[in-house]
Chain A
Amino acid sequence: MSATTAPAAAPPPFANEPVLELRRAPARQGLLDALAELDATLPVRAPVIVGGDRREGEQLVSTDPGKPDRVVALAALATPADVDAAVAAAERGRRAWAAAPAARRAQALLGAAGWMRERRRTLAALAVRECAKPWHEADADVCEAIDFLEFYARGALALEGGGRLFQVPGERNELTYRPRGVVGVVAPWNFPLAIPLGMVAAGLAVGNAAILKPAEQAPGCGAMVVEALLAGGVPPDVVALLPGEGDVGAALVRHPGVQTIAFTGSGPVGLEILRVAGEVPPGGRHLKRVVAEMGGKNCVIVDADADLDDVVPGLVSSAFDYAGQKCSAASRILVHEAIHDALLERLAGAVAVLEVGQAGTFGTDVPAVIEAEAQERVRRYAAMAERDGRIAAVAEGELPGEGWFCTPTVAADLPRDHPVLHEEIFGPLLAVEAVRDVEDACDRVDELPFALTGGLYARNPHTVERVVQRSPVGNLYVNRPITGAMVGRQPFGGNRLSGTGTKAGGPDYLLHFVEPQVVTENTLRHGLVI
């Protein structure tokens, strides 16, 4: 038997990629060494990659948010012609890819995971520099990217067997899942490796071709995503990279040759994608499907019986890790009036000692926000909170002189209809409100159009049950921080205007990238069941 025809051994059961044990000094030193090495080679290049051809350029520049004169990546800018070429290549490449056994595709994804594992420190260092992700967050981003590859590879193997249908004598019914075609991925910068890779890998795993438009703030990380897949064995005409601004994403979304759009980003852009996808373009032969993950206004409810020793660190981490720039971050605390003052006092003290600093320095609690515009936005909302309510706490240390830093801030006493309580700020600004009881808190959560994540600190099981029933959010966390969803453990995604209700890293995510087909064959011939 030749080696090429031997069936690949089934991969072992899925397990999350362990994050580095950063409480040990040698693990920390390994990352600092990788950062020094990366710094010596900056800037990295993010070419347009279509059909395996790379075209470098310098029209798009990403810089270190904590030190904006440090250039991290130089990217080529994709043109409308590049978009057409990428779709054409994908259209050519996708047929053979779709026809290949799932094991072949899984092997490529697992190969990409191996490629990333070998470079995990360098990749984390790149996320530190390009997106100001603090070390443990950057490392977790690499791990999540690897998790998506491993998880969807296994998911595709399982899906290849098809679905189960009722069978009766004389007919054979088969349900199988086929790839939809070409997936356009429009990705964010806040999980610069994991989210783009997750969306691309989901499309590829089930036999689609995928074209990635990375966030303009993070083309360097976007390039690593595509390099990993190519190195892992994904054919060059099945995956493409189109660095660029919003117009490149818009062209991809509109393109008649793109059947599925996977998007993670802001609400307005998501709604526009859904609108455009609803119009069948001239020459279009598909209803475009949109998998969208949008904004949130995530609330944490704290009941009177909560243990503040757990609550305070949990809230600080949920609201201020990565400067509040996670989709899942906490932005409103709804606390029972009986413990409101005690909580606010301790929270204020805990926020006062937060250290704002460079992402690459161990011990930094809050890094820079992604860009000047974000810094300006956070400051605008903080000023509104000060004008219409009260600033209950700020981090007391000095901000670094350069870079897009914001002071971590806690606001209180805001009017119920205040923009700080209703609009997504995406920065280190947290609002605290006193509520009469948990029902009052649930009412306030229910008034919001968003429903991404939520939290509850309460110890009476009846209270937990009640809040679970009333909560509209996609991911509810009880007695723990509300960020840090793990692939396979906390499939992630929001409801209402927060998204299409799809769960990345969950057992049914791949179903959004396939079309089911049912074949029914008559097996009765002259009374003989054949």
Chain B
Amino acid sequence: MVTAPTEQDIREVGIALAQAFPSGRAHPFKALDDKAMDLASQDAQLKAALFRFVDVVPACRSLDDLARHLSGFLTEVDEPPPPLEAAMRMSSSRAGRTALGAAAARGVRHMAHRFIVGESPQAALGILEGLWKRGVASSVDLLGEATVTTAEADRYATRCADALETVARAARSWPPRELLEHDAQGPLPRANLSVKVSALTPLLRPDAPERGQRDALPRLRQLLRRAKALDAHLHIDMESFDSREAITDLVLALLREDEFRDGPSTGVVLQAYLRDSPELLDRILDSIRATPRTTPLVVRLVKGAYWDHEVVDARQHGWEPPVFEVKRDSDRNFEALSRRLLEARPDVRVAIASHNLRSVAHAVAANRALGGGDADLELQVLRGLGDPLQEALAANGLRVRTYCPVGDLVSGMAYLVRRLLENTSNDSFLADQAKGVALDELLAAP
């Protein structure tokens, strides 16, 4: 393709970004005084034990109960390292368990605070404003327990509406940040909320997508109206493949409704690890081109966060996994989709969400090769995992938006465990980066 960036272009962007990484924080866990995670990355059994523990923390009723769980998980580790043997000795007495439980709970809470910006949108405003002032936009994501009842769906919808209100109102007093507020296609809302369709209905059924769509539709429509009235952006997250059809059809159908032709700014997610993601992009583009919008649809390109789930689920059923099983295939597809999205402007706005320096550098270089201004591409990172990259992108004058989960420890645990898994995964980009893999190798074509 004539518009593809050269490897040289990509390397130059990558090197510029790498040089802007804050020193001493090349890896987020280097900042964490949490030796457990380092240990966990090296020992699969230990990792399982620690993650099961983190996962169960909110369900424990006392410090004693916490310590009993911790020692229960640790007994399943064949060769516990010395610090953990000490922990297990402590758990033999009540006083020891109380101390151990308190220490463990502190550790988990500490970890959670790196990934979760506050217990409520109100509580998160300080951090959101701080980011904005440093040249970093945000998208708020409300963590929550699974929705299994209508009352829970209603409650989540109300929380989302309140969050839109809270953030939009607060954002009005934020100082101007040109790069975060405009691109060639027009103004960009300051307030930005990501929502999950699975939380808007208890009726998502993989074999009956229409049921969940029907039930979620009125709640999502209300949120779109709210976002439009508040001039906020509403982004609909994508989840596991089981709900992919329901979510895609629901969002595209709503965006075809007349009242949403002129807003609000809305976004969807494309998961590059899905083998059929190129066809899904065709569908999305066909749909929005058939009913043009004044505010272009934002497409957030991600690798996809449910890879392990998708592979295990498919294997258990004897199906071919819907995802690429080799990481390089996902990475290559990500780059191809990046270029297609950039070329699909002005029908879409493009948000590239990755912590992989190569993927990010590729998108930046591809945008420039197409003649796009840096403001015409958005880069997105996750709070807690992408902090150094966020700083580097902002320092390079690129627009970066940080995905900021909000919620309490109970509702945030599933999210936290997923992030920790991602971070200790052996073939993640962050792990390579932390291991000190040479920049040349990190920036090599997939």
Q: Among A304, A350, A362, A460, which residue has its beta carbon within 8 angstroms of that of B148?
A: A350
Q: Among B76, B151, B152, B208, which residue has its beta carbon within 8 angstroms of that of A362?
A: B208
Q: Within the complex, what minimum Cβ distance (angstroms) separates B41 from chain A?
A: 22
Contact across chains for A460 and B68 when beta carbons are under 8 A apart = yes
B292 at the interface (CB under 8 A from A): no
Q: Within the complex, what minimum Cβ distance (angstroms) separates A17 from chain B?
A: 7
Chain B residues, Cβ within 8 Å of A349? 148-152, 202
B7 at the interface (CB under 8 A from A): no
Q: Among B148, B207, B211, which residue has its beta carbon within 8 angstroms of that of A23?
A: B207
CA–CA, A19 to B313, complex, Å?
12
A462 at the interface (CB under 8 A from B): yes
Chain A residues, Cβ within 8 Å of B206? 22-23
Q: Among B55, B61, B205, B211, which residue has its beta carbon within 8 angstroms of that of A304?
A: B61
A95 at the interface (CB under 8 A from B): no
CA–CA, A353 to B205, complex, Å?
12
Q: Among A16, A135, A463, which residue has its beta carbon within 8 angstroms of that of B207?
A: A135
Q: Within the complex, what minimum Cβ distance (angstroms) separates A490 from chain B?
A: 12
Contact across chains for B150 and A352 when beta carbons are under 8 A apart = yes
Q: Give the residue name and chain of the B residue nearest to A486 (CB).
A: B316
Chain A residues, Cβ within 8 Å of B287? none
Binary B-proximity of A281-317 (CB < 8 A = 1, otherwise 0): 0000000000000000000000011111100110010
Q: Within the complex, what minimum Cβ distance (angstroms) separates A343 from chain B?
A: 11
Contact across chains for A305 and B318 when beta carbons are under 8 A apart = no
Contact across chains for B149 and A305 when beta carbons are under 8 A apart = no
Contact across chains for B208 and A363 when beta carbons are under 8 A apart = yes
B430 at the interface (CB under 8 A from A): no
Q: Among B72, B207, B241, B414, which residue has its beta carbon within 8 angstroms of that of A309?
A: B414
Chain B residues, Cβ within 8 Å of A355? 211
Q: Among A17, A304, A307, A350, which residue has its beta carbon within 8 angstroms of that of B318?
A: A17
Chain A residues, Cβ within 8 Å of B318? 15-19
Q: Give the residue name and chain of the A residue nearest to B74 (CB).
A: A461
Contact across chains for A21 and B56 when beta carbons are under 8 A apart = no
Contacts known (A18-B317, A353-B203, A363-B208); A338 close to B61, Cβ less than 8 A? yes
Chain A residues, Cβ within 8 Å of B245? 23-25
Contact across chains for A305 and B69 when beta carbons are under 8 A apart = yes
CB under 8 Å from chain A, chain B span 413-443: 414
Contact across chains for A461 and B72 when beta carbons are under 8 A apart = yes
Contact across chains for B69 and A459 when beta carbons are under 8 A apart = yes
Contact across chains for B202 and A353 when beta carbons are under 8 A apart = yes
Contact across chains for B202 and A18 when beta carbons are under 8 A apart = no
CA–CA, A136 to B317, complex, Å?
12
Chain B residues, Cβ within 8 Å of A348? 149
Contacts known (A22-B206, A349-B202); A307 close to B148, Cβ less than 8 A? no
Contact across chains for A352 and B149 when beta carbons are under 8 A apart = yes
B203, B207, B208, B210, most chain A CB atoms within 10 A = B207
CA–CA, A246 to B210, complex, Å?
43
A17, A18, A135, A306, most chain B CB atoms within 10 A = A18
* Interface SS of chain B: helix
Chain A residues, Cβ within 8 Å of B211? 355, 363
Chain B residues, Cβ within 8 Å of A496? none
Q: Within the complex, what minimum Cβ distance (angstroms) separates B98 from chain A?
A: 17
A512 at the interface (CB under 8 A from B): no
CA–CA, A348 to B318, complex, Å?
34
CA–CA, A353 to B151, complex, Å?
11
Q: Within the complex, what minimum Cβ distance (angstroms) separates A393 from chain B?
A: 10
Chain A residues, Cβ within 8 Å of B55? 307, 459
Q: Give the residue name and chain of the A residue nearest to B210 (CB).
A: A363
Chain B residues, Cβ within 8 Å of A340? none
A346 at the interface (CB under 8 A from B): yes
CA–CA, A249 to B441, complex, Å?
73
Interface residues on B, range: 35 or more
Contact across chains for B145 and A21 when beta carbons are under 8 A apart = no
Q: Give the residue name and chain of the B residue nearest to A460 (CB).
A: B72
Binary B-proximity of A308-334 (CB < 8 A = 1, otherwise 0): 110011001000000000000000000
B146 at the interface (CB under 8 A from A): yes
Q: Among B69, B207, B317, which residue has its beta carbon within 8 angstroms of that of A460?
A: B69
B289 at the interface (CB under 8 A from A): no
Contact across chains for A28 and B59 when beta carbons are under 8 A apart = no
Contacts known (A23-B242, A350-B202, A460-B68); A18 close to B319, Cβ less than 8 A? yes
CA–CA, A459 to B202, complex, Å?
25
Contact across chains for A307 and B59 when beta carbons are under 8 A apart = yes
Chain B residues, Cβ within 8 Å of A304? 59, 61
Contacts known (A305-B69, A306-B59, A307-B59); A19 close to B207, Cβ less than 8 A? no
Chain B residues, Cβ within 8 Å of A23? 206-207, 241-242, 245
Q: Within the complex, what minimum Cβ distance (angstroms) separates B254 from chain A?
A: 20
Q: Give the residue name and chain of the B residue nearest to A463 (CB).
A: B72
Q: Among A28, A316, A362, A461, which residue has its beta carbon within 8 angstroms of that of B73?
A: A461
CB under 8 Å from chain A, chain B span 71-122: 72-73, 75-76
CA–CA, A24 to B275, complex, Å?
14
Q: Give the residue name and chain of the B residue nearest to A306 (CB).
A: B59
Contact across chains for A136 and B202 when beta carbons are under 8 A apart = no
CA–CA, A222 to B145, complex, Å?
45
Q: Give the residue name and chain of the A residue nearest to B69 (CB).
A: A460
CA–CA, A17 to B245, complex, Å?
25
Chain B residues, Cβ within 8 Å of A15? 318
CA–CA, A362 to B245, complex, Å?
15
CA–CA, A22 to B18, complex, Å?
45
Chain B residues, Cβ within 8 Å of A353? 149-150, 202-203
Q: Within the complex, what minimum Cβ distance (angstroms) separates A139 from chain B?
A: 10
Q: Within the complex, what minimum Cβ distance (angstroms) separates B95 from chain A?
A: 20
Contact across chains for A459 and B52 when beta carbons are under 8 A apart = yes
Chain B residues, Cβ within 8 Å of A309? 145-146, 148, 414
Q: Within the complex, what minimum Cβ distance (angstroms) separates B158 from chain A?
A: 16
Q: Give the residue name and chain of the B residue nearest to A310 (CB).
A: B146
Binary A-proximity of B136-151 (CB < 8 A = 1, otherwise 0): 0000000001101111
Q: Within the complex, what minimum Cβ distance (angstroms) separates A127 from chain B?
A: 16
Q: Within the complex, what minimum Cβ distance (angstroms) separates A116 from chain B?
A: 16
Contact across chains for A28 and B61 when beta carbons are under 8 A apart = no
Binary A-proximity of B48-70 (CB < 8 A = 1, otherwise 0): 00001001100111000100110
Known: A23-B242, A362-B205. 13 other contacts (CB 8 A): A18-B319, A21-B317, A23-B206, A23-B207, A23-B245, A305-B65, A306-B59, A312-B148, A313-B148, A338-B61, A350-B148, A353-B149, A460-B68
User: 6 shortest A-B CB distances, which residue pairs?
Assistant: A349-B149, A18-B318, A363-B208, A23-B206, A22-B207, A309-B146
9 A–B pairs (Cβ distance < 8 Å), ordered by A: A25-B245, A305-B61, A305-B65, A305-B69, A309-B145, A312-B148, A349-B148, A350-B149, A353-B150
